[in-house]
Amino acid sequence: MPELPEVETVARSLVPQLQGRIIVSLAKLDWPKMITPPPAEFTALITGRRIETVGRRAKWLLLTLDRGWTMAIHLRMSGHLLVTEPTAAHEPHVHFALELDNGRCLIFNDQRKFGRVHLLDQQGLAALDRSHGPEPLTDDFTPDTLAQQLQHRRAPIKTLLIDQHLIAGIGNIYANEALWLAGIHPLTPGAALSPEQINHLHRAIRVVLQEAIANQGSSLRNYRDSYGQRGSQQEHFNVYDRAGKPCPRCQTLIERIVVAQRSTYFCPLCQRGMQPVT
Ligand SMILES: [Zn+2]
């Protein structure tokens, strides 16, 4: 599933293609469950709207429209967005397409149909914002912020890092990579991290996310930017999906365990045991 760096990359690739464009029509919708409100209302609200900006909150793409509306798009498992010629809207896995005033289409290709498009008013946007933790790449996200979010949390730090209510945008890949970079065992309870470990983890989260953005994200399955280009961060993983391969830092073999039903990779030497909760 795309995480913060992939969604950020898609948002940045959409800006020059969508900013200032007018939505002429809902050109295709063959999976009505993916949108809210229902199709008739959705169509009435978006037709003729101007796309002011394209941004991101957590793993949501946000198309800010005029008249106070925001189109929030979640790519989920297999979704990707492309700006293309209108004929591409007829492809079998394209379930949603918007016709733009320059003759091109924004198409949502989603083989597994988990993707979502919600049209939000100001209140809806505020609710989406409130349901997510702080953005880890903003200046507001400090080691103190991270410490506050982990306070009294006894769940494994790996599980806490991917909880969107605590910190926005981190998923399985970058949680694994950040914990390796910080030298923290994934099963360590959040509340057991020392101030020094919090500092290391804070820095590691920002480093791995920034590096991934610089490489246009990780393309494992379907992920592409809105020009159809793959990212290359998957060529730089230190632990993710590298079970049995040597740790780039100490050559110890990477291990895989399952934490909260998610594959978790770590170096048993660099990320030594847990500290007891104090
Ligand atoms: Zn190691």
Query: The tokens of 202 are what?
Result: 């804070």
The single residue of 21, 28, 59, 104 carrying the catalytic annotation is 59
Sheet harboring 116-120: ordered strands across?
Answer: 35-36, 116-120, 70-74, 60-65, 51-57
59 belongs to the catalytic site:
yes
Geometric angle at alpha carbon 217, from 216 and 218, rounded to 5°: 130
| CA–CA distance, 69 with 51 (Å, rounded to integer) | 10
Instruction: Break the chain into its structural domains and give their ranges.
Output: 4-130, 143-266
Pairing state between β 94-100 and 105-110 = antiparallel
Please name which of 3, 1, 6 lies closest in space to residue 216, comparing C-alpha atoms. Answer: 6
Domain 143-266 has CATH 1.10.8.50: yes
CA atoms within 13 A on the CB side of 28: 18
CA of 238 to the centre of ligand 1 (A): 9
Six token digits for residue 42: 């959705």
Residue 98 Cα to ligand 1 midpoint, Å, equals 48
Indicate the CATH number of 4-130 among 3.20.190.10, 3.20.20.70, 3.40.1390.30, 3.40.50.10470.
3.20.190.10
Distance 103 CA to ligand 1 centre (A): 53
Per annotation, catalytic residue among 3, 6, 8, 99: 3
pLDDT tens for 33-80 read: 999 999 999 999 999 999 999 999 999 999 999 999 999 999 998 899
- Quote the ligand 1 centre to 209 CA distance (angstroms): 20
Task: Summarize pLDDT for 219-250 with one digit per residue, the tens.
Answer: 887 788 888 899 999 999 999 999 999 999 99
Q: pLDDT band for 98, please (50, 70, 90 cuts).
A: very high
